[in-house]
A and B are shown apart, each in its own frame.
Chain A
Amino acid sequence: MDKLKLIIAREYMSMVGRKSFIIMTILIPILMIACILLPIGIGYLNTEGSETEDVAVIDQTGRYGGAIQDTDLYHFIALRGDTIADPRAFYDKSDGRLTAVVIIPQDIDSVHQLTIYSDKTINSSLKMTLGRQLSDTLTRAHVASYGVPNLQKMIDESSVDVDVKSVKWGEDGTETETSTEIAMGIGFFLAFLIYMFVLMYGAMIMNGVIEEKTNRIVEVIVSSCKPFQLMMGKIIGVALVGLTQLAIWTVVMLALSVVAGSMLGLALGDTLGMAGDPAAVQAALAQGGNADMSGIVQAILGVNYLQIFTSFVFYFIGGYLLYAALFAAFGSAVDQANDASQFTTPIIIVMIIALYAGMACIDNPNGPMAFWCSMIPFTSPIVMMVRLPYDVPLWQLALSIVLLFGTATLTVWIASRIYRTGILLYGKKTGFKDLLRWLRH
């Protein structure tokens, strides 16, 4: 036991002390924020940077051409249909100053169709702009054609947006407002966290094993301790490194949200403190007179956090253990990282399947695929996390966790048998067949 502690401590210190750990701890949140901001930024650049293009609109009806509004991207020049006999010649004469020519046909009111001509590929934003604007204009024209006074106004006023509120009946007769969006968000975020953690730190374990093997230090170490201790020491040590990283991010996030919260007059810490007593929150919020805010907060509080976070801890540990043991076993079987891909590719494929299954489960969280994928231990840590906010029956949750930990224990045992043979073998190219043979030793 003392040896295991020593090995864990060494693994932990050797990684946390590295520059790459500090860099990754800072870089990953930045990358994640960048992933969110980038599409927005790109969209901005797309419209901001480009110049306005001229588009000629030949209106054969004489009624709709002027109704088309310019956008950031396009300037529309309305022309009467009878002034231009040959649109093609007109376009060619413009010497490329015109991007496209749009013809609004005489019979647009009945066929609902217009055509864009150009010698370039016509991009979809132009099609969408024209389609939307003319659909709107034509609809209004139709409405007006009925000759009923104020009909458009009546239609506008009678348009209704229904807000669907969901309330969960507790067994004790209480009613809790729930929010599927928030539940979905939390579940998927935690599932993604498990996915990232397993892949990142699994790869770290594998590289550590390969490093010890190629350094040849492994023979010195296993003459002092059991190969199993070395393997478990690495797995646990790396897990602690990951948890440290998570802890750092959590603290930073909490600190930031407290700062942000106090600016909004609503500290997250207070809200969490009152979580056990929704009425108190309600009262506090009502005093603030912020009804919208109160709805959201009630919805946030409606999610069963205790269950979600307890389950998260179980799935996190179980899923990590399962995959980490596989990564360790595969690392022991190869001489260099390049040779490991034949073993890691199946792992990554299974992980990606799990992630997609998790996404699909959002639409049908209690369907058969969701059920089976949340029972199979290789996908359950991700899929069950997504399902959890949708009230999974307790027996399913329990069965899934038992299956996961049973399989993880078995995998650790299998991995340790492969590992103890693999780390002492050099220079042989190994495949899955060899691993099976080592298992039987």
Chain B
Amino acid sequence: MRNYELRITNYELIYTAVNNFIEISDVVKQYDGHLALDHVSMNVPQGCIYGLLGPNGAGKTSLIRIINRITHQDSGTVMLDGRAITDDDVAHIGYLPEERGLYKKMKVGDQIVYLARLKGMDKTSATGEMLQWLERFDLGEWRDKKLEALSKGMQQKVQFIATVIHRPRLLIFDEPFSGFDPVNADQLKAEILRLKQEGSTVLFSTHNMESVEAICERITLINHSRVVLEGSVDDIRQQHKQGILAVDLARGETLQPCDTLYTLLPAAMGSRETLVRLNPGVSMHDAIAWLNDHCALAGFHEILPSMHDIFVNTVKDQNHGQA
């Protein structure tokens, strides 16, 4: 199946065919009377970095385990690259679970090669790749050490290598940045972007909304086993904007209230900007025009809601609706 998406670039209309790498339709999964996934559908385009969001217990891990062929859905379909997923497809998937672990008593190099071979690589190429990856992460000298001799951060890197070594076309990361210090998290982020450039599709499961804004192109938000929000990060932020404007006035001026157009919001600490919320029905254009007439406007910009706020509000609204 192909979705046609309309994009406007440089005032030219172009139609781009978007290949969905994963297509999940109507998946239902039940455990012991508890509905873990309630008719969930999700499309992840080829080469996309896709965020799978949701509070704890929403059903993210259940969905990820189904894609990984660890468990199976009760009903619904999972398609990979245009055909129904099979057990052999695990060779094309790299999975970094949230709860990580490796064999403590096994040597770093042996461990990576073992996991790579389980994914179907042959011994020679697995060994070659392992050496390259260890060098890239400055872990070359640790190859013959047992895993337990490594620091936690180094162990996380080893786990990352084990996830990507077989050049999977689909990468699934569950909370990849937890347990990484900022320097290592940046290195990890760079590696993920590099893998995307090399053609991998990346599925992210996370609560870390900053990382979602920073790298995800599209997201699906799951709450209480259902999809509650889906789309590109930009579109979602546009849709959820609440008409908040940051106004920067010339030195010495203060913004006058105007009940017909907007209400003043408490200003952020240490900021020269004043925040206003436009009244319902007031267009941005009208408000700017009025402000321009009445004060010495130095600058202005619209504030888009953060993914964090959208996440929290959507989940809260939904929980309210249910209660």
Contacts and interface: CB of A to CB of B under 8 A. Distances in A.
Interface in A13-69: 14, 18
Contact of A216 (B90, B100, B117): B100
Contacts of A217: 101-103
Contact of A14 (B101, B103, B159): B103
B114 interface: yes
Contact of A220 (B71, B95, B106): B95
B69 A223 contact: yes
Interface string B95-122: 1010111111110000000110111000
Interface residues of B, number: 26
A232 to B, nearest CB: 14
A114 interface: no
Contacts of B12: none
A103 to B, nearest CB: 71
A97 interface: no
B259 interface: no
A159 interface: no
A10 interface: yes
By DSSP majority rule, is chain B's interface helix, strand, loop, or mixed? Answer: loop
A13 to B, nearest CB: 8
A332 to B, nearest CB: 14
Contact of B114 (A6, A216, A223, A424): A6
Contact of B118 (A216, A218, A219, A225): A225
Contacts of B293: none
B90 A224 contact: yes
A424 B100 contact: no
A226 B87 contact: yes
Given A220-B162, A223-B70, A14 B106 contact: yes
Contacts of A338: none
B253 interface: no
A429 interface: no
Which of B90, B101, B106, B162 has the largest number of chain A CB atoms within 10 A? Answer: B101
Contacts of A224: 90, 115, 118-119
Contacts of A6: 114, 117-118
Interface in B61-114: 65, 68-71, 87, 90, 93, 95, 97, 99-106, 114
Nearest to B96: A220
Contact of B95 (A7, A14, A223, A424): A223
Of B69, B100, B105, B114, the most chain A CB neighbours within 10 A belong to B114
B32 interface: yes
Contacts of B118: 3, 6-7, 221, 224-225
B101 A215 contact: yes
A227 to B, nearest CB: 8
Contacts of B65: 424
Contacts of A3: 118
Interface of A is mostly: helix
B95 A216 contact: no
A225 B91 CA distance: 10
B299 to A, nearest CB: 51
A10 B162 CA distance: 16
A437 interface: yes
A222 interface: yes
A226 B162 CA distance: 18
Interface in A283-299: none
B105 A216 contact: no
A212 B102 CA distance: 8
Given A223-B95, A437-B32, A215 B70 contact: no
Contacts of A225: 90, 118
B90 A223 contact: yes
Nearest to B106: A14
Contacts of B117: 6
Contacts of A14: 103, 105-106
A10 B70 CA distance: 21
Given A6-B117, A6-B118, A225-B118, A220 B101 contact: yes
A216 B99 contact: yes
Nearest to B105: A14
A2 to B, nearest CB: 8
Interface in A198-255: 212, 215-226
Given A220-B162, A226-B87, A10 B114 contact: yes
Contacts of A10: 114
A14 B32 CA distance: 37
A220 B70 contact: no
Contacts of B103: 14, 212, 215, 217
Contacts of B97: 216, 219-220, 223
Contacts of B69: 223
A361 to B, nearest CB: 42
B114 A215 contact: no
B105 A223 contact: no
Nearest to B93: A223
Contact of B68 (A218, A223, A426, A437): A223
A222 B115 CA distance: 11
Contacts of B100: 216, 220
A17 B216 CA distance: 45
A219 B99 contact: yes
Query: Could you say which of A10, A18, A220, A437 has the most chain B C-beta atoms within 10 Å of its C-beta?
Result: A220
A220 B32 contact: no
A150 B70 CA distance: 92
B102 A215 contact: yes
Interface string B227-243: 00000000000000000
Contacts of A219: 70, 95, 97, 99, 101
Contacts of A226: 87
Interface in A382-441: 424, 426, 437
A255 to B, nearest CB: 32
Interface in B273-312: none
A424 B102 contact: no
Contacts of B99: 216, 219, 426
A10 B114 CA distance: 8
B64 to A, nearest CB: 9
B175 to A, nearest CB: 13
Interface of A: 3, 6-7, 10, 14, 18, 212, 215-226, 424, 426, 437
18 contacts: A3-B118, A6-B114, A212-B103, A216-B100, A219-B99, A220-B95, A220-B102, A221-B118, A223-B68, A223-B69, A223-B70, A223-B90, A224-B90, A224-B115, A224-B118, A226-B87, A424-B70, A424-B71
Given A225-B90, A424-B70, 5 more contacts: A7-B118, A18-B105, A215-B101, A220-B162, A221-B118
